Amino acid sequence: MLSALLYLLVLLGALQWAAAAPVDIPELTASDFAATTEQGIWFVEHYSPYCPHCVQFAPEWQNLADAFEDLQETKGFFFGKVDCTVQGDLCKEHGIRGTPMLQLYVHGELIETYPNSERVHDKLVEYIKKQSEQYGTPDLQEEQEQDEELGLAAPSSHSPINPNGENVALTPDTFNDAKASGQPWFIKFYAPWCGFCKKLAPTWVQLAKDLKDQVNVAEMNCDEYRETCVAHGVSGFPTMKMFVAGTEHEYRNDRSLVSLVSFAKKTSGPTINHVSDTQLEKELRNKDSVAFVYLYTEVQDAATELLQHVALECMEGVTFYSSQDAHAIRQFNLAPTDLPAALIVKDGSHIIYPSHQFSNTPKVQDALTAWVQSEKFPLVSQVGPGNAPELLQGNRMVVLGVINEQDTGSKAKFRTMAETYNKKQKAQPAASERVLFAEIDGSTWGDYVRTAYSVPRKRIPAIVVLDPANYRYFNHDAEGNKFLLDQPELILQVLRDIRENKLIGVSTLPFHSRMAQHIQRTVEVARAHWILTSGGIFAVGYIFYRRMYKRQPKSRRASILPLDEHKD
């Protein structure tokens, strides 16, 4: 009897100990950090076992992990830790300059660094609850119960993304399901008889394999489902669109696998990349890229909705970042009183948005979008299918360098020409009046530039100045000389002559359009000076009448007397 009682007490003690066993906080390393944090929300402590503050904080970190263990199942929220004495390179990459330091990651992206000054129990609890609600996945059990009450099926957004790396053939019903899922779907609209579609087919299959577990890849036969294609703005084949979270982005660039993968990853992920200063510095190393950077310190200044709106409008050619990291802010020589602030970073320098107003109103949305659109071009833009309409048919004058891709010497000279032009500007003109410099690959687009700008392949490299607003281009100076890459200062004079109408350009309009343009301009001038026009018409009519009257023979002039006198 006594032995049975002792056994029961031991069993109860073991059960109590098991129930109170601490949650295992995984130790993350350089080899598994990215793969581990890619799924869900990760609150990560960077620490050193020799740091007194870390040793003091360790029990609190364990208590938090124990208290919020249920968030792993309900919200996908996890705790992790990195030993910086062992993973020094990883901590350096994360911008860790002191320990302990806490950072929040969502699907592999750094959202923010937790302030050291708020590393107390109550504030940490409040923070964890808030972030798990904001970024966490909904409780699946609750959703299923709600759906059962409403008689709905479980949402498909929780199913794996492209688990088999396959291209899926869609019907109108499955297409609607895909759009409603909230997952990223890169969809090709095609016709079986389309030659370009046939050429793209193997690339599209490989694209699905490369985007396995990342982006769903699908296609729709528009011969079979014409109404659905027309309803989604498909007017040519192939048309490729990314559908994600209620938005859609049409792909307009070249059809290479590299470009397709890059577009899919960029548009399927978060439109705003939340980064630390180390990550931001790494991202901005490419001087040919253009980035929008939003810096802030207070959570209420995050302006997430505003930035998402602007990013969707200006995604072509611009990558969007936001950060509240103090080191990132100091990187741009900004003080706390300068925040929040928005910048365009390009060509090794940055331009600050003139306003500090970032409320999500239509007025602010339009103003910020217009500013990004006007400042998004680098020193020399690369012309491709995606930006060709905006560059070659826009409202700004463009100095176009037609240069073969492998001709690095001519590329360097053209860039020097752009730098010379910018330096010689006495005053910085308004963004809408600035001249853009752009390169187009002569080996790829040789036929186009020959037809559009009369530049044969044998004359490449060449320079053409475009004035698309007035439907004309220029390929020689006032003396009739062709533009040369070795004469960078000549462009300044040429552009001045164009603005003063001293050069005669070549029209890009067909003959009938040119005639209609001349007639329209004549009518506009006549309307603007109607008094002079009326007087001129009257004068011309009178002169014409007088001349016609004088030319008439006397025999045909009217008379009230007989022409011949008869004498008796």
- For the cut 50, the answer to whether the pLDDT of residue 568 exceeds it is no
Distance CA 382, CA 392 (A): 11
Instruction: Render pLDDT for 156-182 as a digit per residue (tens, 0 to 9).
Output: 444 788 888 999 999 999 999 998 888
562 preceded by cis ω (within 30°)?
Answer: no
Instruction: Render pLDDT for 460-484 as a digit per residue (tens, 0 to 9).
Output: 999 999 998 888 999 888 888 888 8
Instruction: Render pLDDT for 372-413 as a digit per residue (tens, 0 to 9).
Output: 988 889 999 988 766 788 888 888 899 999 999 889 999 999
Confidence of residue 300 (pLDDT cuts 50, 70, 90): confident
Confidence of residue 152 (pLDDT cuts 50, 70, 90): very low
Confidence of residue 438 (pLDDT cuts 50, 70, 90): very high
Q: Which of 371, 369, 394, 392 is nearest to 382 (CA)?
A: 392
Paired sense of beta strands 291-295 and 341-346, if any: antiparallel
pLDDT value, residue 332: 87
Q: What count of residues does the chain have?
A: 568
Q: Which of 481, 469, 480, 474 is nearest to 498 (CA)?
A: 474
- For the cut 50, the answer to whether the pLDDT of residue 203 exceeds it is yes
Distance CA 22, CA 176 (A): 46
pLDDT value, residue 214: 83
Distance CA 294, CA 329 (A): 10
Distance CA 436, CA 430 (A): 12
- For the cut 50, the answer to whether the pLDDT of residue 17 exceeds it is no
pLDDT value, residue 560: 45
At 251, list the tokens.
């792909």
Distance CA 233, CA 236 (A): 9
Does the pTM surpass 0.85? The reply is no
pLDDT value, residue 239: 94
Half-sphere exposure of 153 (CA within 13 A, CB side): 8
Distance CA 38, CA 35 (A): 5
pLDDT value, residue 259: 82
pLDDT value, residue 432: 62
Of the two residues 112 and 245, the one the predictor is more confident about is 112
pLDDT value, residue 447: 87
Paired sense of beta strands 341-346 and 319-323, if any: unpaired
Average pLDDT over residues 56-68: 91
Of the two residues 151 and 355, the one the predictor is more confident about is 355
- For the cut 60, the answer to whether the pLDDT of residue 446 exceeds it is yes
Distance CA 514, CA 386 (A): 28
- For the cut 70, the answer to whether the pLDDT of residue 9 exceeds it is no
pLDDT value, residue 30: 78
- For the cut 70, the answer to whether the pLDDT of residue 202 exceeds it is yes
Average pLDDT over residues 74-85: 88
Place of tokens 């107390």: 120
Of the two residues 275 and 461, the one the predictor is more confident about is 461
Confidence of residue 422 (pLDDT cuts 50, 70, 90): confident
Taking the C-alpha atoms of 243, 245, 247 and 251 in order, what is their torsion angle to the nearest 10 degrees?
A: -30
pLDDT value, residue 22: 79
Of the two residues 70 and 541, the one the predictor is more confident about is 70
pLDDT value, residue 511: 58
Sign of CA dihedral 283, 287, 292, 298: positive
Instruction: Render pLDDT for 522-536 as a digit per residue (tens, 0 to 9).
Output: 666 667 666 777 777
- For the cut 60, the answer to whether the pLDDT of residue 555 exceeds it is no
116, 101 Cβ separation under 8 angstroms? yes
Distance CA 412, CA 407 (A): 9
Distance CA 338, CA 300 (A): 16
Average pLDDT over residues 307-317: 80
pLDDT value, residue 11: 47
For helices 362-375 and 304-313, the axis angle rounded to 10 degrees is 50
Average pLDDT, the chain: 81
Distance CA 480, CA 476 (A): 5
Instruction: Render pLDDT for 205-238 as a digit per residue (tens, 0 to 9).
Output: 999 998 888 889 999 999 999 999 999 899 899 9
Residue ranges and CATH numbers for the domains of the chain are 32-135 (3.40.30.10), 168-268 (3.40.30.10), 273-376 (3.40.30.10), 381-507 (3.40.30.10)
At 260, list the tokens.
């397709």
Q: Which residues contact 106 (CB under 8 A, 6 or more apart)?
A: 40, 41, 42, 135
